[in-house]
Structure 1
Amino acid sequence: MSNSRALVIKSVKYGETSLIVSCYLEDIGFKSFLVKGLYSTKKSRFSKAHFFPLNIISLNYSYNENKNLGYIKEVKSEFLFDSIYTDVQKSSVIVFLSEILNNVFKEELQKNQDLFNFLLNSLLWYDKTKNCNIYHIKFLVELTKFIGFYPNIKNKNDIYFCLESGTSTNVKPINEFIKGEDLRLFNNLLGMKFEDLNTMSISRKSRARILNKIIDYYSLHLQMFKTPKSINVFTEIFK
C-alpha cells in the first residue's frame, strides 16, 4: 500500500453501489480507482464529499500497472474548502476546470511535481479569494506551462497572437488568432500573478471571447481535447 496526496478529477458511478474515481496523485500522476460500496445501504467508510471535483485528498491505495483500476483503502480530505463548493460561481468554475483537466490528463499521465503544486496552490488561493471572475482564464493559461504550449509573446507590440503556432506576430495568421483589445488583456494576464487578478477589470464580452479562444488553443495543441460539456451552463452563470 502507498500513501499520496491527490486531486479528484472525475468520478462516475459504477454499477449500483460503486464509483470509479480518476485522480491526479502527487507520487504517480493520473490514475483511476474503484471505490466499492459508496452507494450501499450499509454504512461506507468513504464519504461522497471526498470525491467532489478537484477536492484535495490523502489516499492510502494500491495500484498495479497491469490493471486498469487501483484500490483505495483509506481516504481523508487534505484541506477543507470554505467556498469552492458553496459559492455558485466558484462551484461552476470547479466543474468546468475538472472537465478540462480530465481531457488534459488523458495525455499527461506521468507525475509532475511542479504541476501538482500549481494545481494545489491555485485552488487554495481561489477558495480564499472573493469576486474573482477571471480565475478560470488565468488557470487555463498557466496550465499550458506544464503541458507544453505556453504562449510565446515575442514582442508585446505584436498585433496578433497565432493560436496554431502559439506565438505573437505582426503578420496576420491564416487561421485562428487573438488581436486588438483582447490581445492586450491576454498579454496582461500572462504577466500577472494570481494574487493580482482582482486588480484587473475585463468586461463580460471580453471574458467570453478570450475564454473561447483559449478553448480553441487547447483544441489545436491537444489531440484528444474536447470542449467541456459544462461550458454552456458555465457561461450562463457568468453573464
Structure 2
Amino acid sequence: MNSQTGFLLSFIKYGENDAILHCFTEEEGFQTYFLRGIYTKKNKKKAFLLPLNKLNFSVRGGKTSSLQVISSFEMLNLHDVYTDIKANTVVFFISDFLNQILKNENKNIAVFHVIDECIDQLSTKNYQSHLIFLIKILKIQGVAPLLGEGVFLDPETGTFSPFSMHLLFDEENSLLWKMIMSSSNPYEINIPSAKRKSFLDSILVYYHYHISDFKTPNSLEIIQQIFE
C-alpha cells in the first residue's frame, strides 16, 4: 500500500459500479488506476470525479494484473472552478489535452507544479490561463521556440524569422509568443480577447509540429465558444 497525489485527467465507467482513472501523479507521473464501487448508490465520492481534481490515493497492486487498485481516496483542494462555467470549460479542455500528451510521461515535478499553478489562476477567473499553460508545457518538454530577432514565429522550425511563414503566426501572435516565453510572470500578460481564438489555434499548430502523434483535442470547439 502506498500513497500518491495526483490530478484526475479522465475516467471511464467500467461495468456497473467501477471505474478506470487516468491521473498525473506527483510521485510517478501518468498512472492508470482501478476504482471499485464508485458508482454504487451509497458512494458519495463519485462527486470527486471531476477533471483536474487534485486527489490523494491509497493504492495497491492488482491481484490479476499490473493495474494498481485504489483502496481509498480523498479530495485535497476545493476550488470553485467547477461552478464557474468559463473556468469549467477551460478545465475540461486542459484535462482533455493533458490526457493525450502526458500518457508516456514519467515523474515530472515541473509539469505537476504548472498544472497546480494553472488551476490557481483559473480560480481567480483568469480565463486565458490555459494559453499561458500550454506554452509553459512546451518549455518544460524542451520544444519551445528559440527566442530571436525576427518578428514572425516559424512554427515548423521553432525560430523567429523576418518573414511570415504561416498565416496564424502574424506579427501580433508572434509577439505574444515572445512575451510569454520571456516573462518571469506570463500569467500577468493580457492577451486581447479578439486574439485569443487565433492565438490558441497557433499553439495547436505548433504542437502538431513538435509533439509526436498530437491530435487536436475533442473539446476545442467548446472552449472556442468562450472567446466569442
Q: State the match for 1:24 in structure 2.
A: 24
1:180 counterpart = 2:175: no
Aligned to 1:162: 154
**2:193 alignment partner in structure 1:** 203
Aligned residue for 1:106?
A: 103
How far residue 148 of structure 1 moved from its aligned partner, in angstroms, is 2.4
Partner of residue 39, structure 1: 39
Q: What amino acid is the match of 1:119?
A: I
The structure 2 residue matched to 1:97, chosen from 60, 83, 94, is: 94
Q: 1:84 aligned to 2:81?
A: yes
SS in structure 2 of the partner of residue 47 of structure 1: helix
Structure 2 contact 59–70 (Cα < 8 Å) conserved: yes
User: 2-side partners of 1:224 and 1:56: how far apart?
Assistant: 27
SS at match of 2:116: helix
CA-CA distance at 1:176 after TM superposition: 7.0
In the alignment, what sits opposite 2:121?
125
Q: Secondary structure at the match of 1:60?
A: strand
Range 25-34 or range 158-167, more displaced: 158-167
Do the aligned partners of residues 74 and 194 (structure 1) sit closer, same or farther apart at CA in structure 2, a change above 3 Å counting? farther
Once the 2 structures are TM-superposed, how far is the Cα of residue 126 of structure 1 from its aligned partner?
2.4
Distance in 2 separating the partners of 1:68 and 1:92: 34
> How many angstroms does 1:195 deviate by?
4.8
- Please name the residue that 1:217 is paired with: 206
Q: Deviations over 1:116-161 (max 9, x none)?
A: 122123312321x13x232111011111122221221122xx1221
Match of 1:9 in 2: 9
Specify the SS of the correspondent of 2:175. helix
Report if aligned partners of 2:208, 2:214 keep a CA contact under 8 Å in 1: yes
With the length of structure 2 as denominator, give the TM-score of the two structures: 0.90
Do 2:168 and 2:198's aligned partners in 1 also have CA atoms closer than 8 Å?
no
Unpaired runs of 5+ in structure 1?
Answer: none
Q: Runs of 4+ in structure 1 displaced over 6 angstroms?
A: none
Q: In the alignment, which residue of structure 2 is the partner of 1:150?
A: 144
Q: 8 Å contact 2:152–2:162 — kept in the other structure?
A: yes
- What's the TM-score once normalised by structure 1's chain length? 0.87
Q: Give, in whole Å, the separation in 1 of the partners of 2:16 and 2:181.
A: 46
What is the CA–CA distance in structure 2 between the aligned matches of 1:63 and 1:234, rounded to whole Å?
A: 37
User: How far is 1:68 from its partner?
Assistant: 5.1
User: Residue 119 of structure 1 aligns to a residue in which SS?
Assistant: helix
Alpha-carbon contact 1:33-1:70 (below 8 Å) kept: yes
The SS at the match of 1:235 is helix
Provide closer, same or farther for how the CA distance between residues 63 and 164 of structure 1 changes in structure 2, counting only shifts above 3 A: farther
Q: Secondary structure at the match of 1:24?
A: strand
State the secondary structure of the residue aligned to 2:169.
Answer: strand
SS at match of 2:115: helix
Does 1:234 find its partner at 2:228? no
Kindly state the Cα deviation for residue 172 of structure 1 after the two structures are TM-superposed: 4.5
